[in-house]
C-alpha cells in the first residue's frame, strides 16, 4: 500500500518543495465514506425487510427522483414493507401524471411484480384507471417501466388580442422559460397544462382590472404522428374596472354608538384579489380589538363608464360581531416537546381580548422552533363570551442522518455525513454534527442551538470546529469554538449574528524567501465577530434575480484571551438580473482587508491573510493560487484584496446553459498598498447542467496578464452544491 501511495504525485507549485503523498488516514477516511455510500449485502433473510421499488424510463437521475417521490406517500417517507393495491395504483397515477406533464400523452406504464407467494404478475396502464387490482394484492418487489412514446409540443403558438400584457409575456404562460436552443422539450404540450396556462393568464388580466377577460384556445390541431400541436390563444380583455372610492361603515351588536363612516379615494384596479385583500384588512382591524367573528361585505354604490374604463364607488359594511375573551390555551400533538416551551411562545393570556392576529403570530413562533412539520389553530366555544385557543401540532422527525458528496477541481472527491437532532430533551434545542473528508482537507463541526432565547427570533448557539487542509503552499490547521446569538431583523430583512470566537491557528510547511513577511504562523486568536446578511435573491442555490449583500467584521485582541491583535473585514455583494431571451446577468463584488491597527504587520496571523483563486473566485487560478508571491513564487497571502466578477449566462434548455465571464482581482501583500498594488485578469466560459444533486459545472478561465510563475489558465469541474 505504501509503495502504491508513493506513486501518486503530489501537487507541485513552482518554487516550492514537492509535497509528501497523501497520508494513509485520509485514504482510510475516503474509503470509509465510499463504503457507506455502497449498498451492503444482506446477512440473512429479514421478516421486516422493506419491499423493493424500482423505476425506469425517466433517465438515471430521473428514476431516482421518482422513487423518492413515491416514498413521500408512505409513513415517515420510508419504503413500504409490502406493496399493496393502494400503493401500486397510487404509483401508476403519479408516474403517468409526471410523464404526461412532460408532453408524452400516449405513454404506457408497465408494472412487473413479484408477489408475496413468489409468483410473478404484470400489468399495463395507459391511464391510472386502466387496471383495478384485487384487494388482496400483495407484492414484495415492483418494477415500473415507462414507455414514453411521442412527445407532444407546441409547433406554432399564436397569441391574439393581447393589449394589457405584451405578446411575449403572454407566451411565457404556455412555453416555460426562454432558451437559445428551440427544443421540443422547452415547448411541451398537454391538455391539462394548456388549461392551467389559460387560467393563469386570465387571472393575471383580472388582477390588472380586466375582470371579465376571456382566454380561449381556438384552431387546436394535434398531430398524433409527430406530436406537433398548433393552437391560437384568443384574448378578449373587455373593459378595465377601477375603484374610485370606498365608503366603510363599522358597527356591531356590542357597539351602542352609531355606525362609523369613513370614505377613502383610490384608483386601484378592481379584481377578486383586490377585493379579498381589502376585506381581509377590514376584518383584521377588528381582530386586533377582540372581535374574532368580524365580517365584511362589499357592495356597489355607483358604476360609471368613462371611455373604456368602468369606475366603481363601493360600500364596505363591517359587522364586528360579539366581543370575545380568551379562555384557556391548549396544545395537542406535542408528545416530546415540553409544554412550558410551547407556552412561552404564546403572548396571549387568559382573560385577554381574543386577538386572532396575536394568535397567528404565536403560531408562527411555534413553527419557527423547527421541531414541527406543521402548526394549526382552532377555537372552541366556552360558556359566556369566552373561547379556548387550541394549537394542533405535528412533531417532525427528531433525528436525521444525511450523506454528503460532491467533486471540486482542487479538493477533488469530497464526502461526508451530517447528523441532526432537532428536539433535544424536549426543549426544541437542536444539535448538528458534520464531518467532511476530501483529498485535500479534513473538517468537522458541531453546533448546538437554543431557539427564541429571551426575545422572538433570537437564538443562542455554541459551535466547535476543526479543519486541516493542504493549501497550495502550506498546510492550514484551525481548531476552536464560539458562542453567540443570532437574530432575524425582519424590518430590514437582514440576518445578524454576534459571537465570541476562540481559535488555534497554525500554518505549517510554509515556504518563503523572507519568513519575516509571513507574520505569525502559530497563534491563539480570541475575537468578537459580527455577521450581517441581507439576501433578497429568488433562490439561494441557483439565483436568477435579486440582490445579496453581507459583511463580516472580526476584532481580535489579546485582552480577550488570545495572544494576537488584529482586525479583519469582509464585504461582499452579488446581483442577478434576467435580460430576456433566456439570458441572465450575474455580478459579484468582494472586498477584504486584514490589519493590525496600532501594531506591526508581522503580528498578523498567517491564516488570516487572503488567498484568492478558484471556481468561486478568479477562475484562471486554482484555489488559493492568486495571492501575492515572493521572488521564488511562494504564496505570501494578501492583507487586502478586491474581486469583481461579471458573468453572462444563456440558457440552452431548461437545465443546460452556457456562461461567459470576466474576473478581475486586485491584491496587495501589505495593507500599506491599500486597496491593491497588483492586478490579475481572467476571462473564459463554460457549460452548466442543473440536476437534482446540484449543478454540474465545467469552466475554463484564461489568464490575460499572468505573472511569470502563474498558469496560463485553469479548468474547473465541480459537482453538487458546496458544503
Is the pLDDT at 73 greater than 90? The verdict is no
What's the grid cell of residue 381?
366555544
Q: What whole-number distance in Å separates Cα of residue 506 and Cα of residue 569?
A: 21
Delineate the domains of the chain, giving CATH numbers in brackets.
Answer: 52-147 (no CATH), 153-236 (3.10.20.310), 240-319 (3.10.20), 325-395 (3.10.20.310), 483-719 (2.40.160.50)
What is residue 547's predicted lDDT score, i.e. its pLDDT?
Answer: 95
For residue 13, how many C-alpha atoms fall within 13 Å in the half-sphere facing its CB?
A: 23
State residue 40's pLDDT score. Answer: 42
**For residue range 232-280, what is the model confidence (pLDDT) as tens digits?**
999 999 999 999 999 998 988 766 665 677 788 888 899 888 999 999 9
Residue 32 has pLDDT above 70, yes or no: no
The whole-number average pLDDT for the span 118-123 is 91
- What pLDDT was estimated at residue 608? 93
Note the pLDDT of residue 184.
74
Segment 696-715 mean pLDDT: 94
Q: Which three cell numbers stand for residue 672?
A: 500599506
Q: Tell me which of 76-80, 137-141, 308-312, 590-594 is least confident.
A: 76-80
pLDDT band, residue 405 (cuts 50/70/90):
confident
Q: How far is CA 628 from CA 140, 199, 611, in A?
A: 63, 59, 8
pLDDT surpasses 70 at 674: yes
pLDDT of residue 382: 87
pLDDT of amino acid 42: 38
Give the residue, 31 or 669, on which the prediction is more confident. Answer: 669
SS3 state at 90: helix
- Maximum mean pLDDT: which of 128-137, 551-560, 667-676: 551-560
Q: What is the pLDDT of residue 147?
A: 92
143, pLDDT greater than 90: yes
pLDDT at 30: 52
Beta bridge partners of 526: 502
- pLDDT (mean) for 599-613: 86
pLDDT tens for 423-438 read 999 999 999 999 999 9
Q: Return the percentage of the chain with pLDDT > 90, whole number.
A: 56
pLDDT digits (tens, 9 = 90+) for 622-634: 999 999 988 888 8
Residue 683 has pLDDT above 90, yes or no: yes
pLDDT band at 12 (very low <50, low <70, confident <90, very high): very low
Q: Residue 22: CA atoms inside 13 Å, Cβ hemisphere, count?
A: 22
Q: Indicate if the pLDDT at residue 22 is higher than 50.
A: no
Give the residue with greater pLDDT, 52 vs 21.
52
Per-residue pLDDT at 537: 93
pLDDT confidence of 48, banded at 50, 70, 90? low
* Nearest by Cα to 111 from 133, 139, 143, 71: 143
pLDDT at 556 over 70: yes
- What the block records as the C-alpha cell of 57 is 424510463
pLDDT at 671: 87
- Whether residue 41 is predicted with pLDDT greater than 70 in this model: the reply is no
Tell me what pLDDT residue 4 has.
32
pLDDT of 550 over the 60 cut: yes
Highest mean pLDDT, choosing among 28-37, 157-166, 499-508: 499-508
Residue 249, C-alpha cell as written in the block: 361603515
Look at the alpha carbons of 270, 274, 278, 280 in this order and tell me if their dihedral is positive or negative: positive
Average pLDDT over residues 571-583: 91
Q: What is the pLDDT of residue 325?
A: 94
Q: How many residues does the chain have?
A: 723
Lowest mean pLDDT among 32-36, 247-251, 391-395: 32-36
**Which residue, chain included where needed, has cell 433517465?**
59
Cα–Cα–Cα angle for 519, 523, 529, nearest 5°? 100
DSSP code for 11: P
Q: How confident is the model at residue 515 (pLDDT cuts 50, 70, 90)?
A: low
Residues 6+ apart with CB under 8 A from 487: 455, 457, 458, 459, 495, 496, 497
User: How far is 216 from 233, CA to CA, in rounded Å?
Assistant: 6
Q: Which of these ranges, 29-38, 75-84, 349-358, has the smallest mean pLDDT?
A: 29-38
User: Would you state the pLDDT for residue 77?
Assistant: 66
Amino acid at each position: 500500500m505504501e509503495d502504491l501511495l508513493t506513486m501518486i504525485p503530489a501537487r507541485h507549485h513552482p518554487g516550492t518543495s514537492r509535497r509528501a503523498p497523501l497520508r494513509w488516514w485520509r485514504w482510510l477516511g475516503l474509503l470509509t465514506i465510499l463504503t457507506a455510500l455502497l449498498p451492503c449485502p444482506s446477512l440473512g433473510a429479514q421478516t421486516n425487510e422493506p419491499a423493493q421499488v424500482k423505476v425506469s424510463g425517466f433517465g438515471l437521475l430521473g428514476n431516482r427522483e421518482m422513487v423518492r417521490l413515491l416514498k413521500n406517500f408512505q409513513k415517515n417517507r420510508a419504503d413500504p414493507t409490502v406493496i399493496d393495491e393502494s400503493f401500486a395504483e397510487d404509483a401508476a397515477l403519479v408516474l403517468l401524471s409526471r410523464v404526461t406533464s412532460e408532453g408524452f400523452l400516449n405513454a404506457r406504464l408497465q408494472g412487473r411484480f413479484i408477489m408475496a407467494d413468489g409468483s410473478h404478475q404484470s400489468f399495463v396502464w395507459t391511464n391510472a384507471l386502466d387496471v383495478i387490482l384485487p384487494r388482496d394484492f400483495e407484492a414484495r418487489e415492483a418494477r415500473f417501466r415507462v414507455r414514453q412514446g411521442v412527445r407532444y409540443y407546441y409547433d406554432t403558438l399564436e397569441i391574439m388580442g393581447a393589449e394589457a400584457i405584451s405578446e411575449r409575456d403572454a407566451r411565457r404562460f404556455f412555453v416555460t422559460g426562454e432558451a437559445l436552443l428551440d427544443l421540443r422539450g422547452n415547448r411541451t404540450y398537454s391538455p391539462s397544462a394548456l388549461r392551467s396556462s389559460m387560467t393563469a393568464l386570465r387571472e393575471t388580466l383580472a388582477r390588472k382590472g380586466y375582470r371579465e377577460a376571456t382566454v380561449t384556445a381556438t384552431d387546436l390541431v394535434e398531430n398524433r404522428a409527430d406530436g406537433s400541436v398548433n393552437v391560437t390563444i384568443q384574448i378578449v380583455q373587455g373593459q378595465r374596472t377601477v375603484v374610485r372610492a370606498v365608503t366603510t361603515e363599522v358597527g356591531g351588536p356590542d357597539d351602542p354608538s352609531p355606525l362609523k363612516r369613513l370614505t377613502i379615494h383610490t384608483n386601484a384596479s378592481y379584481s377578486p384579489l383586490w377585493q379579498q385583500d381589502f376585506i381581509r384588512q377590514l376584518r383584521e382591524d377588528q381582530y386586533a380589538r377582540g372581535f374574532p367573528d368580524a365580517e365584511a361585505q362589499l357592495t356597489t354604490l355607483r358604476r360609471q363608464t368613462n371611455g373604456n374604463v368602468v369606475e366603481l364607488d363601493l360600500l364596505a359594511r363591517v359587522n364586528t360581531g360579539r366581543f370575545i375573551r380568551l379562555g384557556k390555551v391548549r396544545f395537542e400533538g406535542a408528545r416530546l416537546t415540553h409544554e412550558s416551551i410551547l407556552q412561552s411562545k404564546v403572548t396571549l393570556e387568559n382573560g385577554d381580548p381574543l386577538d386572532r392576529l396575536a394568535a397567528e403570530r404565536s403560531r408562527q413562533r411555534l413553527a419557527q422552533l423547527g421541531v414541527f412539520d406543521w402548526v394549526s389553530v382552532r377555537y372552541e366555544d366556552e360558556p359566556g363570551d369566552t373561547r379556548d385557543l387550541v394549537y394542533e401540532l405535528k412533531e417532525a422527525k427528531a433525528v436525521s442522518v444525511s450523506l454528503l458528496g460532491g467533486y471540486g477541481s482542487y479538493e477533488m472527491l469530497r464526502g461526508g455525513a451530517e447528523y441532526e437532532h432537532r428536539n433535544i430533551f424536549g426543549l426544541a434545542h437542536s444539535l448538528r454534527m458534520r464531518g467532511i473528508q476530501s483529498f485535500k482537507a479534513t473538517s468537522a463541526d458541531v453546533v448546538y442551538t437554543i431557539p427564541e432565547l429571551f426575545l422572538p427570533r433570537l437564538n443562542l448557539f455554541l459551535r466547535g470546529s476543526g479543519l486541516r487542509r493542504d493549501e497550495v503552499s502550506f498546510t492550514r490547521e484551525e481548531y476552536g469554538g464560539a458562542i453567540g446569538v443570532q437574530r432575524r431583523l425582519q424590518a430590514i430583512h437582514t440576518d445578524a449574528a454576534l459571537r465570541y470566537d476562540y481559535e488555534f491557528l497554525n500554518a505549517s510547511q510554509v515556504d518563503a524567501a523572507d519568513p519575516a513577511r509571513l507574520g505569525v504562523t502559530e497563534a491563539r486568536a480570541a475575537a468578537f465577530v459580527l455577521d450581517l446578511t441581507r439576501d433578497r435573491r429568488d433562490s439561494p442555490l441557483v439565483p436568477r434575480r435579486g440582490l445579496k449583500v453581507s459583511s463580516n467584521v472580526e476584532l481580535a485582541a489579546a485582552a480577550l484571551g488570545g495572544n494576537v491583535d488584529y482586525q479583519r473585514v469582509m464585504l461582499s455583494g452579488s446581483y442577478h438580473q434576467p435580460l430576456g431571451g433566456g439570458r441572465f446577468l450575474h455580478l459579484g463584488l468582494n472586498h477584504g482587508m486584514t490589519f493590525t491597527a496600532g501594531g506591526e504587520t508581522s503580528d498578523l496571523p498567517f491564516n488570516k491573510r487572503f488567498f484568492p483563486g478558484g471556481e468561486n473566485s478568479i477562475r484562471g487560478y486554482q484555489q488559493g493560487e492568486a495571492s501575492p508571491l515572493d521572488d521564488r513564487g511562494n504564496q505570501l497571502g494578501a492583507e487586502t484584496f478586491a474581486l469583481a466578477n461579471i458573468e453572462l449566462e444563456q440558457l440552452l434548455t431548461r437545465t443546460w446553459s452556457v456562461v461567459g465571464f470576466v474576473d478581475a482581482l486586485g491584491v496587495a501583500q501589505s495593507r500599506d498598498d491599500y486597496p491593491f498594488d497588483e492586478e490579475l485578469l481572467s476571462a473564459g466560459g463554460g457549460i452548466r447542467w442543473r440536476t437534482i444533486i446540484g449543478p454540474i459545472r465545467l469552466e475554463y478561465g484564461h489568464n490575460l496578464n499572468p505573472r511569470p510563475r502563474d498558469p496560463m489558465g485553469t479548468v474547473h469541474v465541480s459537482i453538487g452544491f458546496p458544503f
